[in-house]
Each structure stands twice: as C-alpha cells, then as structure tokens.
Amino acid sequence: MAKFFEYQGKEHFQKGGIPIPEGMVANTPQEAEQAAAKMGRPVVVKAQVWAGGRGKSGAVKFADTPQEAGQAAVDILGMQVKGLEVKQVLVEEKLDIVQEFYAGVVINSAQDVRGPVLMFSSEGGVEIESVPREKIAMLNVDVIKGLMPYDTLNMAASMGVKGKILRQVADIVYKLYQVFRKLDCRTLEINPLVLTRDNKVLAADCRMAVDDQALFRHPELGIKIGREFLKEPTEFDLIAWSFEESDFRGTSYVAEMASSEEVANGGYVGFHGIGGGAAMLGMDAVNKVDLKVADFADTSGNPTASKVYRVVKLIMAQPGIEGYLLAGFMMANQEQWHHAHGIVKALREELPKRPGFPAVILLCGNKEKESQAILKEGLSDLNARVEIYDREHVYDSSFIGGRLKALVEEYRKEQAGASSR
Ligand code: GDP
Ligand code: MN
C-alpha cells in the first residue's frame, strides 16, 4: 500500500470538498515558528509520519505563541514514532473541539465482502479497534450502485448525531467515500472528525493509503515505488522497482541496505534470497559469520529468467561487495531453472570483471537436477570462487555461511596481495 502523510491526505480532502483546518507544513523549527506567526493564533504542531498514535507518543503538541510552536517543532522533528523518523511537521490552527467522531472507509478483502466498507462512529479520537462494535455504524458499499447521500445521513443519525450538524457530518462522510473511490484507496480515515465550539465540522486528521495495483492510474500522486517501502527510495531502489514495474511475472524485490560508503568499509556481500523463509535463513547464514548484506533481494513466485538476471546484475553492480550469496534455503516449488539461467547469464557477464570473486549458490526444489546442471555447466570455466550447493544443504545456514566467509577471506587476502605488489 502506498501511504500518505496527513497533510497530503488533507489536500485531497480539500479538493473533494471536505473542510480541513488551516495549516502549513514545516521542515525546520524556524519554518514552524513562521507558520504559527503567519496564522496569528494558537496552533497544534503534528509529526508527519506513516504511523498513528502520535497523540500518545508526544508527537502532537499545542503552542500558544510562535516561539512555542518553534520549540514544539524542535521537540518533534527528528523524533522516532513507531520506528519512523519525523522529518516534517504540520502546523495547524488549534481547534476548539467539543466533540470527536470517526469516519473511515477500508477495503474488506474477505471472501464474502470484497469491497469497501464505510464506517462511522461518534466515539472518535481513539483507535477504532478499541471502540465497541455496537458503537460503529458499518455499511458494505455496493460498488455498482454506489453510495447514496441518504445512506450517510442514516449512518450518522443511527449513531445519535442530530440537529444542525447532522447534514454537515453526513455530507463529509459521503464525500469521504467519493475521495476514497476517486483515488483507489485501500484506507481513508478521518479520526477525529471534529465539531468545534463555533459549530463547524472539520477533518482534524487523515490516514490515507492507496492500492498499489491502482497506482498506474494515478501518476498525479507521484508515488515512485508501488509497494510498502518505508524509506525514501535511492537510485538503486528505483532501478530495482523498474524490473517489477515492467514485468509482473513472479516477484522481485530488491532494496539497498547500506550506502556505498558503508560497503567500502568492507565485510559486505551481495544478498539474494528466494522467498521469505529462505531469505531469513540466508540472513542467518550471513549474520552467523559476521558478514553484512549490502542489499536485500528476493526473487520468488516463479519469476522469469530475465527478471532474475536483472536482479543479479543489480546486486553485482554494488561497488565494494566481497561476495555473492544465493540463499535458496528451501525446496522451492517454482521452476528453478529460470533462476539458474538468469544467474548464469548475469554471473558470466560480471565475474570476469573481478577475478577470484566469491559466489556461493544454494538452489534446490522443483527442477533441481536440471538447474544444478545449468549452473555447473554455465559457471565452471570462470576464474572465480564459485561453489554450488543443492538439497543436501537446504537448511544448513551454518555450513553455507561458513563457506561464504571462507571464500571472502581468501578473496580479501588475494586482493590485499595484489594491491601491495
Ligand atoms: P494521532 O494520535 O496520530 O491519530 O493524531 P491526531 O491528529 O488524531 O491527534 C491526536 C489527538 O489530538 C486528537 O484525537 C485530538 O484529540 C487532539 N487534537 C488534534 N488536533 C487538535 C486541535 O486542533 N485541537 C484540540 N483541542 N485537540 C486536537
Ligand atoms: Mn488520529
């Protein structure tokens, strides 16, 4: 899911006619102070991170003066919320809240629903999971018929909303669903939707995530990598994503784990796992022998040889790595010869550029015999430290890690000898 910051989601609310508080994004305490001065009234300073529960973590602070707003930004910027670093704050007019509601739409992918579910509750401001079921109005929206304005009026009324604000609340919930549909969201939430002392109803928060599979329809959203990706993508990450974007056969995932400066310090290998479990055992293998991974790669779900080839080329393109590990720690049920072909082609191009380079390859599972033959025939004549293993070592992370370490050490000695000569 492509996640968005609160301020980004609120921009979409505004376009969709949902009232939001006046606010400005700040990257520094100075900017936060200026924003508060410009607004000329008490403000709330809110961390912009892909995590909820900011209120409880001290990542939402109130400020009566611009100086206080600057200080709040000093406190919040750089802090970690659920492991994510805060790089921006939203400075917003402080609302005089008299009541908090919850409104949200999520995709329920359960077999009997498979569609959007609209939810409304008059218990807002707390996590919706902690609100009793009977205090939440829920509606499975029929995507063909769509939502009717009276549907949201009924929902809000059933939760006790009445009087002048009923129409405002119902209208916002109706518009929320329209924004959800327009942007192909998986989640779009207002928590809290607030009623202020002067009888205005506004979205005080926003949580928004868009379906990865629909991102191609939304170039305006500017999402560079259409999958869960919790850091700012590097050039390496973007190249990796281009493989996936241009070929949906099988899965390839590659992410940069260390900068080239870190890798230059030594002890890093190019890491290539096949499937989640195998990748975990592969990481164990590397950790056990005190090596580190320069990247995290995973090719599974029966990817084509061309996809595997591109992944191996990218792994090998990392300057300073001292080895390549294919961590096929499982009896993969995909046809392994696609991996074998892709790896052979990539390594035949890359290994001649670095004589003696270590490559430990563990591959087993469906079409194992054929795959082993392809690997052995394709890589045996190279001037490199290539070792190829099969099911005999399928779960043996100590052995595989040990072989990788031994070859890396030999290679290192050889390199040191070559450079001192
Ligand atoms: P979250 O904890 O990450 O969901 O962050 P929210 O944006 O929902 O803020 C947490 C809580 O702070 C809300 O539930 C509100 O009770 C409170 N809050 C946020 N903005 C305002 C505001 O402008 N005025 C007041 N009085 N409270 C606010
Ligand atoms: Mn919230």
Q: CA-CA distance, 68 to 77, in Å (whole number)?
A: 14
Q: What is the pLDDT of residue 95?
A: 98
CATH fold, domain 1-20+95-229, is D-amino Acid Aminotransferase; Chain A, domain 1 (3.30.470)
Residue nearest to atom 14 of ligand 1 (CA): 125
Identical fold, 1-20+95-229 and 22-94: no
* Residue 369, token pair as written in the block: 């015999």
Domain-wise residue ranges, the chain: 1-20+95-229, 22-94, 233-420
User: Closest ligand to 93 CA?
Assistant: 1
HEC profile of 7-74 = HHHHHHHHHCCCCCCCEEEECCHHHHHHHHHHHCCCEEEEECCCCCCCCCCCCEEEECCHHHHHHHHH
Tens digits of pLDDT across the chain (421 residues): 889 999 999 999 999 999 999 999 999 999 999 999 999 999 999 999 988 899 999 999 999 999 999 999 999 999 999 888 999 999 999 999 999 999 999 999 999 999 999 999 999 999 999 999 999 999 999 999 999 999 999 999 999 999 999 999 999 999 999 999 999 999 999 999 999 999 999 999 999 999 988 988 999 998 888 887 767 789 999 999 999 988 989 999 999 999 999 999 999 999 999 999 999 999 999 999 999 999 999 999 999 999 999 999 999 999 999 999 999 999 999 999 999 999 999 999 999 999 999 999 999 999 999 999 999 999 999 999 999 999 999 999 999 999 999 999 999 999 999 887 6
**Ligand 2 center to 119 CA (angstroms):** 15
**Ligand 2 center to 31 CA (angstroms):** 23
* Contact status, residue 9 vs residue 206, Cβ threshold 8 Å: yes
Atom index in ligand 1 nearest the CA of residue 92 equals 23
Atom index in ligand 1 nearest the CA of residue 93 equals 23
Alpha helices in 248-367 (DSSP H): 260-264, 276-288, 305-316, 336-350
Q: CA-CA distance, 299 to 387, in Å (whole number)?
A: 20
**Ligand 2 center to 158 CA (angstroms):** 23
Count the Cβ atoms, other than its own, within 10 Å of residue 314.
22
Q: Which amino acid is at 341?
A: H
**Ligand 1 center to 181 CA (angstroms):** 26
Atom index in ligand 1 nearest the CA of residue 51 equals 3
* Residue 329, token pair as written in the block: 């720690």
Per the document, the length of the chain is 421
SS3 content of the chain, % helix, strand, coil (to 5): 40, 25, 35
Residue nearest to atom 7 of ligand 1 (CA): 205
Q: Is residue 326 helix, strand or coil?
A: strand
Partners of 213 in the β-ladder: none
CATH superfamily of 233-420: Succinyl-CoA synthetase domains (3.40.50.261)
Helix or strand holding residue 401 (H, E): helix 397-420
* Contact status, residue 302 vs residue 335, Cβ threshold 8 Å: yes
* Contact status, residue 127 vs residue 52, Cβ threshold 8 Å: yes
* Contact status, residue 301 vs residue 273, Cβ threshold 8 Å: no
Q: Is residue 124 helix, strand or coil?
A: coil
CA 155 to chain centre: 33
Ligand 1 residue neighbourhood (C-beta within 6 Å): 44, 46, 52-55, 60, 94-95, 97, 100, 125, 191-192, 204-205
* Residue 397, token pair as written in the block: 């992370």
Class of domain 22-94: alpha beta
